[in-house]
């Protein structure tokens, strides 16, 4: 069986690397990759080193409409040449031309993995029609949480018989590999000793709810709680958030860490007492699964995969979305319940192992490709 993955706007995709590394455990499955990107991406070298074919289609998301039209014809030619059994798209910019080209090329199994569910609905409603068009061109739709599955069926009008729920997975050993020296260096660099350390890892975009986190920090600071909040990431909203921290005079409580090397992220979880996630709508939330795998108690909005596996005041604290007060209440509740917080650590590690393992994710994808996965 030949499966062609198509991905846009990413020069490298870790979980596709993890998939490919594990293909040796399966016989009769071949993966190839097509990347839509402005220049030849790093991913091409990564996949070639793994023995996989990788093709580049020039695509600039700043010229989306004309770029998609050009990509459509190039993808059609590639699909006719490769004659795949399955085409699997992942994001909007790749799925719109890829699924249509695959349909024209006669590819019988056309899969879309809905990594950006609800984005258009919330922030670009003029493109919702295209999400529905994608769903129509797909023969199989992968939702990455039960919330996302419900949304795709109810809001995007997808046929329920097409929609399968498969959680994202991570290589648990790799994502829990903490380094004691790196942990100590973080404690020193960010002056964390003697503080209650809170953290969040996300792009600085509206979707992630950073402004509600900063407002919650303001509430906690007014109560003289001795905390330090690590905001880890980059993005278009970062300066706006830095200005808000300056306005509220929260600089002694909030640290913008900037970009952190991927290999050091587990050690960042190692300095946190609590992980805080304030997303408004999260199709999945990789960082929540990572925090769970590292045994970091969580305060989160009830969205994405967290809503599928966690329970309020048993294995997490669910805060209301868009509510700084609810986030602050959740953080304070966790701080005031150290014994329960300690108990959560082992339980959420176990939940991560049961639900968010990369091998289970790949196994379900292969079952779907073969037509053996149940809705």
Residue with tokens 């600039």: 60
Both 199 and 278 in one domain: the answer is yes
Q: Is residue 318 part of a domain?
A: yes
The 10 Å CB-count burial string (b at 16+, else e) for 117-127 is bbbbeeeeeeb
Give me the CATH number covering residue 365.
3.40.50.2000
Q: What is the pLDDT of residue 281?
A: 83
Both 157 and 269 in one domain: the answer is no
Both 17 and 165 in one domain: the answer is yes
Both 139 and 184 in one domain: the answer is no
Helix (H, G, I), strand (E, B) or coil at 224: coil
Residue-number span of the structural domain to which 96 is assigned: 2-169+357-370
Q: What is the pLDDT of residue 375?
A: 84
Q: Is residue 248 part of a domain?
A: yes
- What's the total number of domains in the chain? 2
Q: What is the pLDDT of residue 12?
A: 86
The 10 Å CB-count burial string (b at 16+, else e) for 332-357 is bebbeeeeebeebeebbbebbeebbb
**Per-run averaged pLDDT (10 residues), the chain, 375 residues:** 96 90 92 96 91 95 94 98 97 97 98 93 94 97 96 96 96 95 96 96 92 97 96 95 97 94 94 96 89 97 93 97 97 97 96 96 96 91
User: Checking phi first, is residue 311 left (phi over 0); if not, alpha (psi -120 to 50) or beta?
Assistant: beta
Both 209 and 336 in one domain: the answer is yes
Residue with tokens 């966790």: 334
Residue with tokens 């048993």: 314
Beta strands 30-37 and 2-8 are parallel
Helix (H) or strand (E) holding 68: helix 64-82
Helix (H, G, I), strand (E, B) or coil at 55: strand
Q: Which two tokens stand for residue 138?
A: 């797909």
Q: What is the pLDDT of residue 109?
A: 98
Q: Is residue 128 part of a domain?
A: yes
Nearest to 89 by CA among 191, 9, 30: 9
Q: What is the pLDDT of residue 262?
A: 87
Q: What is the pLDDT of residue 191?
A: 95
Q: Is residue 375 part of a domain?
A: no
Both 152 and 291 in one domain: the answer is no
**Residues 213, 217, 223: CA angle, nearest 5 degrees:** 150
Q: What is the pLDDT of residue 292?
A: 97
Both 362 and 348 in one domain: the answer is no
């Amino acid at each position: 069986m030949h499966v062609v993955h198509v991905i846009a706007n990413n020069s490298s995709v870790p979980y596709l690397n993890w998939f490919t590394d594990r293909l040796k455990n399966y016989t009769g499955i071949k993966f190839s990759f097509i990347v839509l990107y402005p220049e030849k991406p790093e991913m091409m070298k990564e996949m070639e080193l793994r023995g996989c074919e990788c093709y580049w289609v020039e695509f600039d998301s700043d010229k989306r409409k004309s770029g998609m039209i050009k990509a459509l014809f190039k993808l059609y030619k590639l699909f006719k040449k490769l004659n795949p059994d399955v085409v699997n798209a992942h994001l909007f910019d790749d799925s719109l031309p890829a699924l249509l080209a695959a349909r024209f090329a006669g590819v019988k199994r056309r899969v879309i993995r809905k990594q950006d569910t609800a984005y258009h609905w919330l922030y670009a409603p003029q493109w919702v029609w295209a999400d529905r068009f994608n769903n129509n061109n797909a023969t199989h739709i992968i939702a990455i949480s039960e919330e996302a599955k419900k949304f795709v069926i109810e809001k995007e009008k997808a046929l329920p018989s097409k929609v399968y729920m498969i959680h994202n997975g991570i290589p648990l050993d790799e994502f829990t590999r903490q380094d004691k020296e790196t942990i100590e260096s973080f404690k020193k660099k960010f002056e964390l000793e003697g503080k209650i350390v809170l953290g969040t890892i996300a792009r600085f975009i509206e979707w992630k709810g950073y402004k509600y986190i900063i407002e919650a920090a303001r509430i906690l600071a007014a109560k003289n709680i001795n905390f330090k909040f690590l905001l880890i990431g980059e993005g278009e909203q970062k300066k706006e958030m830095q200005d808000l921290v300056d306005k509220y005079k929260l600089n002694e409580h909030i640290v913008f860490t900037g970009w952190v090397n991927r290999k050091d992220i587990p050690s960042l979880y190692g300095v946190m007492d609590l992980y805080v996630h304030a997303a408004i709508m999260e199709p999945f939330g990789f960082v929540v699964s990572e925090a769970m795998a590292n045994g970091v108690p969580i305060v989160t909005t009830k969205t994405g995969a967290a809503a599928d596996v966690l329970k309020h005041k048993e294995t997490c604290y669910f805060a209301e979305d868009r509510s700084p007060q609810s986030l602050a209440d959740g953080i304070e509740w966790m701080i005031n319940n150290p014994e329960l917080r300690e108990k959560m650590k082992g339980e959420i590690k176990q939940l991560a192992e049961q639900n968010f393992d990369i091998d289970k994710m790949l196994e379900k994808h292969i079952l779907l490709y073969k037509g053996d996965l149940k809705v």
